[in-house]
Amino acid sequence: MENWLAAMDAYLAGSPGQISEGFKKFTSSELQQSLKKGGTAPEHDFFTLCETLLAAWTALETAYSKSLVALHQRLIEYANNELPHRKALQRLQSYDDLLLNLNQALQTQGGEQLVASLLRQYRAALIDEFQDTDPIQYAIFSRIYAGSSAPVYLVGDPKQAIYSFRGADIFAYLKAREGVEGQFTLVTNWRSDPALIDAVNLLFNQENSFLFSEIGYHQALPAEKPRKTLVDPEGGEAVFRVGYIPKENNAEQSVALVADETAGEIARLLAGGVMLGDSPLSGGDIAVLVRSHRQGERIRQALLVQGIHSVQRSQDDVFQSWQALELERLLQAILLPGRESLLRAALGTDMLGLTSVDIENLGLDDAALEQQQMRLLGYNRLWREQGFMPMFRHLLHVEAIPRRLLRLESGERRLTNLFQLSELLHRYERDNRPSLEGLVNWLSHRRASDQAEDEEHQIRLESDENMVQIVTVHKSKGLQYPVVFVPFAWEGGLRSGTAGGRGGKGRQPYQFHDPAGEHQPVLELGSERWEEDLVHARREEMSENLRLLYVALTRAEHRCYLSWGNVGSAGESALGWLLHPVEDLEEGSVLGLKNRFKSLDDSVLFNKFKQLSNELDNALNVTVLDQQNMQGRSGVIPIDATPTADDLRAREFPQRTLQYSRVTSFSALAHHGGDSELPDYDRLTAASEEADLTVVQPALDIFTFPKGAQAGSCLHAIFEELDFTHPDKNGLDALVSLKLAEFGFSDQWLSVIANMVRQVLDTPLENGSDLKLSQVDDQHKLVELPFYYPVEGIESRALGEILRKHGYVNSKALERAVGQLRFSDISGYMKGFIDLVFQHQGRFYLLDYKSNWLGNRVEHYDQPALAEAMAREGYFLQYLLYTLALHRYLRQRLADYDYERHFGGALYLFLRGMNPASSGDYGVFRDCPSRALVDALDHFLTTGEVAA
């Protein structure tokens, strides 16, 4: 009564909304019905008003429900019409489309010719796993082979039809079975020991064991074959072991009890003494079968308490993992390092590992905050220059992410997920070439999806070690294990028609097969037949749960553990139907099972297994589970204090020799073996800093645009995405504005940067030629061209000798720069990314953008200044390496390739100093190395030798 009054007070005190469940207690009709014999119902206007309000609310709720059903129906009709149209526009087809289109082609005009063609190509058919077919597949096979003399074999076990969530339709299989001439049943079980086969036979060999009479059960027979023997001196010989959960435990307590019991028994089995054939039982011989990731996680945690590691086979989507969320946060911050909110979110991930206190302190230290932003900006630049995977590998190394994750609980699981996600992102980038934003958006989209689009998106095993296997029942189909645990057979509530799954409130659309309509699939949105149809849906659901239980119990070779009790949703479970069927209800009815269980006490359920044990000659053993017994068990695997020499023997490494190839780059060679993946531009020298201090330029222009790596990344990003031939037509200002915001710069620079871009495009790139970037269309350019080529035993002294021999070292600046190179005996691969390769009038040019600041006037970017900068920053070595890369690239792709005819030269654009009025005398460094030098470098990098 107090709860009803409190709910009524809350309703009357607030805005009109949902009426509480106890509201009807205050209506006149409810008061009248609640009267005891001879009583008089209280009368008051309030009760009459409640009656009126409840009637109005009920009418409104009904109207809303009908409106929602109509909305669902219109949405489905719209999607059915719109989806094919959108797919056609994008030239996309799903696997379902392939089936639908083939079926349509077979049924329409011209179908006979297609049937004849297919029969010529496939003169016989053997279709395995046919219990998982669907109406469309069945229609296709029927159309092809019905009426022909071609032999067709449909192989399937309806007892193992467990993939309805994928669209499999058991009724399509049953219909197909009716139409074949001969039926054959395989009854020999080659997997399990005879006593286990007897136990499964005893459970399932009963009337309506799978609810539908069409799905019968034939007693299995053991195969006559040599078998390994499981020897358990302490545990006895029973092959089927039931742990009984007392009724006093609620659902959550039962989960904990069963998880602890399972882990404890596994620990006992692995502690020593249990033999499988001639070998000790190992973790890889044991599987724990679960229905959900939640159940699997409870088992994994319980095993960890026992000191036992496990691997989890799952069909869960790796994009739904915690690591996917954290990776998205990190990549968003790298994409927009100037956004403080994104930065803080990234720093708090397990990968970067800052504490909440560390992150809070960043708000008090501007220098530390800027340092973190620059840290991510470096990754941003590397990502733009070299792609996602090189950036990600560098990130893993620099931030020590593997070491950090492996220190955490489930570290191997976390790291495996992260590696799998990185591979999927790399593959998408490789196949689709998205922008940075496009790749992050794809990750966000995949995270928002609720199911895996591809089998490769399913979570991988974290290890191939010999560990306990935690496997979903769906994933276990077709597999076998010496010892199997099925700890959650008592959890099996029916979900059809309930919002939010089992235990949810409200109605949810559901699917069923109409027995009055030849079992055609029907989607029930909310018709007047809702309750009647729900009976059919839940019957189908229970039948599939029974098939799942059958699959689980038949995975074991030598021993099977089962947990059971009248707890949780056991009254709606498959095992409950098998052990305590409601005999007085019509065939297949499951509605009375739950109520039946309410009346059963522990003794009835426990004695049922005792009865089964007697029938199986004690091959089945049942024990009561309780925490006291668990606490008395020494579950943790003991460690021998005096290990033998064999125990301490190191693993043998099977590979005789370890070949190690180093990957290097221009940056590593030019900067004395430093990090090969740091930005290679915008390095401020002492001379340029001094010039900056002596010249004051208050106006906004390209010279006063901020210096440094972030500015360089911004300018590079603009040119990477720019249409050179029609910049303004294709939104130059919008592109510049977007990139300025992305890299944290004010929009006040928009006109400055846009004007600079136009000047760069219109500046002549060669003396005596009209070559300009504005003449290069997208069809004749490659952006960020990657290269890898082998190098063998190269060292800086020999490189200097080659450059001097061919007259390349022609200035003091170059002599000094070449003399400062320090590297030796480098073998492996040279890698890099060329900013731009383009073709003009049959010649190919390589081009690199440099945003280096050399001074505040155009005169600071004349040819001597550029030559000095090229030498000082080591860019001479960069374009020689790039020239060789392009030379090899063209040599492989042009049949009549000739270096002197096809190679146009190397162009280095110092963006701040370019101006069309200068005719290319300022801001453009150009060189075309001699053929002899390129050949000498080619020979040197390939062999490590200086050609004579």
Give the domain CATH number at 396.
1.10.486.10
- pLDDT (mean) for 61-79: 90
Give the least confident one: 371-375, 719-723, 823-827. 823-827
Helices 95-107 and 135-145: crossing angle, nearest 10°? Answer: 40
Query: Given 457, 478, 509, which residue is the final one in a domain?
Result: 457
Count structural domains, the chain. 5
pLDDT for res 459: 57
Which residues are 279's β-sheet partners? 276
pLDDT band at 651 (very low <50, low <70, confident <90, very high): low
Tell me, yes or no, whether 716 lies in a domain: no
pLDDT for res 670: 66
Q: Does residue 887 share a domain with residue 792?
A: yes
652: pLDDT strictly greater than 90: no
pLDDT for res 237: 84
Instruction: Pick 695 or 646 by higher pLDDT.
Output: 646
SS3 794: strand
355: pLDDT strictly greater than 60: yes
CA distance 664 to 666: 7
Three-state DSSP string of 287-316: EEEECCHHHHHHHHHHHHHCCCCEEEECCC
906: pLDDT strictly greater than 90: yes
CATH, residue 152: 3.40.50.300
Three-state DSSP string of 604-641: HHHHHHHHHHHHCCCCEEEEECCHHHHHHCCCCCCCCC
Q: Does residue 273 share a domain with residue 334?
A: no
Instruction: Pick 925 or 28 by higher pLDDT.
Output: 925
Tell me, yes or no, whether 240 lies in a domain: yes
- Pairing mode, strands 481-486 and 188-189: unpaired
Q: Does residue 376 share a domain with residue 325?
A: yes
- pLDDT (mean) for 916-920: 80
Task: Judge contact between 861 and 855, C-beta under 8 A.
Answer: yes
653-694 confidence digits (pLDDT tens)? 554 444 444 566 767 676 654 444 334 445 444 344 333 434
CA distance 572 to 150: 45
DSSP string, 165-209: GGT--HHHHHHHHHT-S------EESSS-HHHHHHHHHHH-STTT
560-581 confidence digits (pLDDT tens)? 999 998 888 888 889 988 888 7
For residue 768, give the DSSP letter.
Answer: T
pLDDT for res 677: 39
pLDDT band at 926 (very low <50, low <70, confident <90, very high): very high
Q: Does residue 884 share a domain with residue 782?
A: yes
- pLDDT (mean) for 618-644: 60
78-109 confidence digits (pLDDT tens)? 999 999 988 888 888 888 899 999 999 999 88
731: pLDDT strictly greater than 60: yes
Amino acid at 192: S
Query: Of 663, 700, 683, which Cα lies nearest the Cα of 381?
Result: 683
**DSSP H or E segment with residue 786:** strand 781-794
Instruction: Pick 787 or 846 by higher pLDDT.
Output: 846
44: pLDDT strictly greater than 60: yes
Instruction: Pick 3 or 929 by higher pLDDT.
Output: 929
Strand order in the sheet with 556-564: 310-313, 468-472, 286-290, 481-486, 556-564, 240-244, 620-624
CA distance 804 to 332: 47
- pLDDT (mean) for 607-613: 89
Sign of CA dihedral 255, 260, 265, 267: positive
CA distance 168 to 132: 5
CA distance 458 to 166: 15
pLDDT band at 777 (very low <50, low <70, confident <90, very high): very high
What is the separation of C-alpha 802 from the centre of its chain, rounded to a whole number of angstroms? 50
DSSP string, 550-568: HHHHTSEEEEEEEEE-S-T
Tell me, yes or no, whether 914 lies in a domain: yes
- pLDDT (mean) for 376-390: 90
Other Cβ atoms less than 10 A from the Cβ of 294: the count is 11
Tell me, yes or no, whether 504 lies in a domain: no
CA distance 372 to 376: 6
- pLDDT (mean) for 769-784: 90
Q: List the catalytic residue out of 680, 682, 692, 848.
A: 848
pLDDT for res 480: 94
Q: Does residue 777 share a domain with residue 915?
A: yes
pLDDT for res 694: 40
pLDDT for res 79: 93
Q: What is the CA radius of gyration of the chain?
A: 37
Q: Which CA distances in Å does 722 have to 429, 575, 732, 761?
A: 19, 65, 7, 10
For residue 274, give the DSSP letter.
Answer: -
Percent of the chain with pLDDT over 70: 86
On average, the pLDDT of the chain sits at 84
Give the least confident one: 58-72, 380-394, 681-695, 783-797. 681-695
74: pLDDT strictly greater than 80: yes
Query: Of 867, 714, 690, 875, which Cα lies nearest the Cα of 705?
Result: 714
Task: Judge contact between 494 and 461, C-beta under 8 A.
Answer: no
Q: Does residue 27 share a domain with residue 134?
A: no
Other Cβ atoms less than 10 A from the Cβ of 753: the count is 24
Tell me, yes or no, whether 886 lies in a domain: yes
pLDDT for res 668: 66
User: What token pair was written down for 28?
Assistant: 């006149």
pLDDT band at 71 (very low <50, low <70, confident <90, very high): very high
User: Torsions phi, psi of 770, nearest 5?
Assistant: -95, 15
pLDDT band at 788 (very low <50, low <70, confident <90, very high): confident
> How buried is 40 (Cβ within 10 angstroms: 0-12 exposed, 13-18 middle, 19+ buried)?
exposed
Query: Of 662, 691, 658, which Cα lies nearest the Cα of 676?
Result: 662
- pLDDT (mean) for 715-722: 92
CATH, residue 693: 3.90.320.10
pLDDT for res 842: 92
**Domain that residue 361 falls in:** 318-457
Those residues with Cβ within 8 angstroms of residue 693's Cβ, 6 or more apart along the chain or in another chain = none
Tell me, yes or no, whether 520 lies in a domain: no
Which residues are 511's β-sheet partners? 523
- pLDDT (mean) for 128-152: 92
Instruction: Pick 87 or 906 by higher pLDDT.
Output: 906
102-137 confidence digits (pLDDT tens)? 999 999 888 999 999 999 999 999 999 999 999 999
pLDDT for res 411: 82
Q: Does residue 252 share a domain with residue 157?
A: no
User: What token pair was written down for 841?
Assistant: 């009038």
890: pLDDT strictly greater than 90: yes
Q: Does residue 437 share a domain with residue 392?
A: yes
748-759 confidence digits (pLDDT tens)? 999 999 999 999
* Helix and strand counts by DSSP (H, E) for the chain: 35, 22
Task: Judge contact between 148 and 142, C-beta under 8 A.
Answer: no
pLDDT for res 194: 94
Q: Does residue 238 share a domain with residue 173?
A: no
Tell me, yes or no, whether 211 lies in a domain: no
Tell me, yes or no, whether 137 lies in a domain: yes
CA distance 891 to 440: 36
- pLDDT (mean) for 189-209: 92
Q: Does residue 414 share a domain with residue 344?
A: yes
Interior angle at CA 171, CA 167 and CA 177, nearest 5:
120
Query: Looking up tokens 């952006």, which residue turns up?
Result: 783
Q: Does residue 890 share a domain with residue 793?
A: yes
Give the least confident one: 475-479, 650-654, 749-753, 937-941. 650-654
Task: Judge contact between 200 and 220, C-beta under 8 A.
Answer: yes
pLDDT for res 501: 40
Q: Does residue 288 share a domain with residue 324?
A: no
848 tagged catalytic: yes
What is the separation of C-alpha 498 from the centre of its chain, rounded to a whole number of angstroms? 28
User: What token pair was written down for 471?
Assistant: 């496997």
